[in-house]
Amino acid sequence: MTVEPAPELTPAAALARIVDAPAIVLLAAGTDGATVLAWDAAQAPVADWSALRDLELASPAPDGNAVASGWSRPVPGAHAVQLDYEFPAVAGRAWRLDRFVAWDAAGRATLHARDADGIARMRRDLARAPRDLPPPRLAARLTPAWDGAGHRRRVDHLRALIAAGDIYQANLTLPFGATLRPQPHADAALAVQLIGGSPAPYAAFLRGAGDALISHSPERFLRLDRGTLTSSPIKGTRRRVPGRETEVRAELMASAKERAELAMIVDLVRNDLGRVATIGTVSVDAAAEILDLPYVHHLVARVRCATAAGATEAIRAAFPAGSITGCPKLRAMQVIAQSEAGARGAYCGTFGWIARGACDLAVAIRSVVVSGERVRLHAGGGITADSDADAEWDEARAKASAMAAALGATL
């Protein structure tokens, strides 16, 4: 592996120089972790779990550089991956990361490649003149798949199933759709607006054949690092109110409904990790902590275990994430499939990177899919027996508000 100092460019400035590339992988951390930018990476479909395992085994093992939050830096030869919620019924995507620029939390940039030729190619590309990436704008209003009354009916239906003992919790998600005004590189422009305007620990811009995924996810799905497997589920939300942050945080932490919602998902995640854990090692390191984002506050937990499993085996044991399904998990997935408007697609799947015996993956929430001039995004929340339908409608719109703002819209 070859590592050299990189030109003094921000991630956004570097992206503007390579934005013509047909394949781009940007994994952007917030105030911690690493930000990684790769382009012209070889892309391949991921047909099933066996294919994902093949990618894992074809990647070198990293030397370990896990951080408390945000992305850890992959090793050259690792694979960036994106799996839809419906995987493996729908094939995923992978990009081989043979060379990339990496920024640490202090903003220091380095070039990483498998050989000196890869370093030289990156230097040439980053010396190009930058493209203009003006903020994207909508040609028509961002429209939800149903209105507030429709959301209330769905919440009431799920609460009735909970009262009947059919489920304990289900995550209901609301799709939004719109059309972009034509402009070059609208997907990259949206990534700059969303990730720059509302940073998150597990943000990403993944461009490949067919469409692009832009996300500012705050939630870690799985990190496997030197035999330690960690998941950090999020449940419980309050809209951020400027000047009232302390009061709203206290209200969220004191909410019996929100704490119970998180506790149920923590139990589900403990069970999922337990499928691959070394016996007796599953622990809850944090039962409920506050996570502050520019537009909302969340409750987040941290579940950890030791494991001898590989990355693919661990992912398969926990996929899709419990926080965006419900419990019992399989029955909740059946119920929400009947309540929502079609497939979730990239939303609520996962993305990140995988290498031999290691992975770093986010839950694909707070995500926008750009297909030509069409944009689609989702937002939602966990429904429990104590859910208030009006509050759930407001929560869904609050979660979508930063994505809407990046598009020049309001919710």
pLDDT of residue 283: 98
In tens, the pLDDT along 173-187 reads 999 999 999 999 999
* Number of compact structural domains in the chain: 1
Across 12-30, b (16+ Cβ under 10 Å) vs e yields bebbbbbbebebbbbbbbb
Contact 222, 314 (CB under 8 A): yes
pLDDT of residue 411: 86
Q: Is residue 139 part of a domain?
A: no
- pLDDT tier for residue 56 given thresholds of 50, 70 and 90: very high
**Residues carrying an active site annotation:** 219, 235
- Per-chain mean pLDDT for the chain: 96
Q: How far apart are the first and last CA of the chain?
A: 47
Tell me, what CATH number does 333's domain have? 3.60.120.10
Alpha-carbon span 106 to 93, nearest angstrom: 31
User: Predicted confidence band at 210 (pLDDT cuts at 50, 70, 90)?
Assistant: confident
Across residues 90-117, what is the average pLDDT?
96
- Average pLDDT estimate for 131-158: 96
CA atoms of 323 and 233, how far apart (whole Å): 6
Range of the domain at 349: 145-174+226-367+379-392
**Alpha carbons 410 and 178: distance in angstroms, whole number:** 13
pTM above 0.95, yes or no: yes
Higher pLDDT, residue 30 or 111? 111
Question: Span 4-31, mean pLDDT?
Answer: 96
In whole angstroms, what separates CA 100 from the centre of its chain?
Answer: 20
Reply yes or no on whether the pLDDT at 144 is more than 90: yes
Question: Within a domain: residue 69?
Answer: no
Cα separation, 393 vs 380, whole angstroms = 8
**Tokens standing for 343?**
């497939």
Q: Which two tokens stand for residue 49?
A: 């779990």
CA 361 to chain centroid: 8
**Any alpha helices (H) in 28-83, and if so which ranges?**
49-58
Cα 347 to Cα 272: distance, rounded to the nearest angstrom: 20
Check residue 30 and give its pLDDT.
79
pLDDT score recorded for residue 66: 67
User: For residue 372, is pLDDT > 80?
Assistant: yes
The 10 Å Cβ neighbour count of residue 110 is 15
